[in-house]
Amino acid sequence: MTWQLIVEPEPLPGSWNMAVDEHLLRLAGSSPRTFLRFYRWERPTASLGYSQDASRVVDVDFCRAHDIDIVRRMTGGKLVLHDREVTYSLASADVSIFTETLRESYRLISRALLAGLARLGITARLAETSPPAYVRSTMPCFAFPARDEIEIGGRKIVGSAQKRNGPLFLQHGSILLETDEALLAAVSRPGESAESLGMTSISESLGRPVDFDAAVGPLVQGFADFFGAGFDRFALGPADREAARLIQASKYASDEWTFRRGSPSAR
């Protein structure tokens, strides 16, 4: 079993990152391939879940004043501030590996991430329940670990979301290298306190700085170990880049997409 692996250490604009993930989803739907991608962000970027109302969850004026981008994901979930992290995405329609249910495929990917964190020397676990107050609230993603998300001592270290259309799905998520509770609290609405956010990071857990390059190798190996997958390196060719550019221009770089209110359809 061979997957396509994309590792992009060069920080990229948020709208481009979202467009590439959607392009890979389309490729996975048109051919029997599984894509695993790791990437970074050009500058701090707040991403909204597909169905979120921007006016209720993000302080747009603060973001504009502090050079923080805002994008809307095609996946569900809550507000995430992408900054000092490793971001992963996985696109596939292979039900022989991932099953056809959102929760089971989500759990499988979480377990692969646990294996990668273990290779880094971090012992983490899957959260068993979602606090009801968190589920109903407009709190950001990293306020609490939800069911099947990865936590250490009740503090979230990975936040993920999935978009599914039958067997075809995209899951992407944020694996924190460092935390900045104060900035996340400032970006969020109606206004969280830094002390209320239950988050941790790879660097904090290990007691030493860990950068993108040092984290990605063990995370890739965690997927290889858990799924028994090998990897071929995949690079976006000219046709891929043009397709992603068109998605970016028509959707993720558009205020009409970013600031409209969607309808619930994904985790």
Over residues 101-143, the pLDDT tens digits come to 899 999 999 999 999 999 999 999 999 876 655 554 667 888 7
Segments making up each domain of the chain, as ranges? 2-258
pLDDT greater at residue 99 or residue 37:
37
What value does the mean pLDDT take over residues 20-48?
96
Q: Rounded to 5 degrees, what are φ and ψ at 86?
A: -105, 125
Query: Percent of the chain beyond pLDDT 90?
Result: 81
Q: What is the mean pLDDT of the chain?
A: 91
Composition of the chain by helix, strand, coil, percent to 5: 40, 25, 35
* Annotation marks residue 63 as catalytic: no
**pLDDT attached to residue 267:** 41
Q: What is the pLDDT of residues 228-247, one digit of tens each?
A: 999 999 999 999 999 999 99
Q: Which CATH superfamily is domain 2-258 in?
A: Bira Bifunctional Protein; Domain 2 (3.30.930.10)
Name the catalytic one among 141, 215, 224, 266. Answer: 141
pLDDT greater at residue 59 or residue 135: 59
